[in-house]
């Protein structure tokens, strides 16, 4: 992809409300065409969601940018991602944080994502095939959690794995028409929530395997 195309994408992200220069820089640097099927690569740098198989999509770059920006990542942040998918969001997180733990229920998608991480030399990503609705208890607490599929409500199991002061961004809503990204912050024994913006996501569902807490 030409530098002109990448610059056009960054302009689209700014127009969509992404302002964090580190987030914009990571998205500009990352080759999104690596994360989409070959027959969609002509649209890899458009601000659109694209199918990746198994009923899943790679999110719009603007949505990736807005959700990442909301986490306020630092080079010391430990992140949990629910829904690896193509690995695109994972890679953006890895470029901005200390370590990313990511869970995907579709093993073929996870295997392809792992190959991409190796190709891009992103070695601060730990992957797991399984039920993302359970989180990753053995590695908790996390400073940040990002959920890339829509839940009916704030998942309490995931919220409980947040560190004090930690933030989770998660799409909430039972159907496309009513979904919105919500930011959840842990404050002592409670949580505060703030709705960010409406956006459609595939549903968050348990894996067919991995029914036990991890």
Residue 62 preceded by cis peptide, ω within 30:
no
Q: Are strands 99-104 and 125-129 parallel, antiparallel or unpaired?
A: parallel
Q: Quick one: 121 exposed, middle or buried, by C-beta within 10 A (0-12, 13-18, 19+)?
A: exposed
Annotation says 178 is catalytic:
no
The secondary element (H helix, E strand) that includes residue 13 is: helix 3-16
Interatomic CA distance for residues 99 and 90, integer angstroms: 10
| CA separation, residue 135 to residues 6, 60, 161, 212 (Å) | 34, 24, 7, 11
Catalytic option among 2, 59, 97, 174? 59
Query: Active-site residues: which are they?
Result: 59
């Amino acid at each position: 992809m030409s530098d002109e195309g990448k610059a056009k994408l960054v302009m689209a992200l700014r127009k969509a409300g992404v302002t964090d220069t580190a987030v914009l820089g990571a998205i500009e640097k990352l080759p999104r065409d690596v994360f989409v099927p070959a027959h969609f690569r002509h649209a890899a740098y458009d601000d659109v969601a694209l199918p990746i198989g198994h009923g899943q999509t790679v999110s719009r770059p603007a949505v990736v940018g807005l959700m990442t920006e909301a986490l306020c990542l630092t080079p010391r942040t430990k992140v949990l991602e629910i829904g690896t998918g193509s690995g695109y969001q994972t890679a953006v997180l890895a470029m901005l944080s200390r370590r990313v733990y990511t869970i995907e229920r579709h093993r073929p998608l996870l295997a392809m994502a792992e190959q991409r991480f190796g190709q891009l030399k992103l070695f601060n990503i730990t992957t797991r095939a399984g039920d993302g609705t359970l989180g990753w208890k053995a590695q908790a607490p996390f400073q940040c959690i990002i959920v890339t599929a829509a839940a009916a409500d704030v998942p309490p199991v995931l919220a409980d794995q947040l560190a004090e002061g930690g933030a989770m961004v998660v799409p909430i809503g039972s159907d496309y028409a009513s979904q919105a990204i919500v930011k959840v912050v842990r404050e002592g024994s409670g949580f505060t929530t703030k709705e960010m913006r409406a956006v459609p996501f595939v549903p968050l569902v348990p894996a067919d395997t991995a029914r036990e807490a991890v």
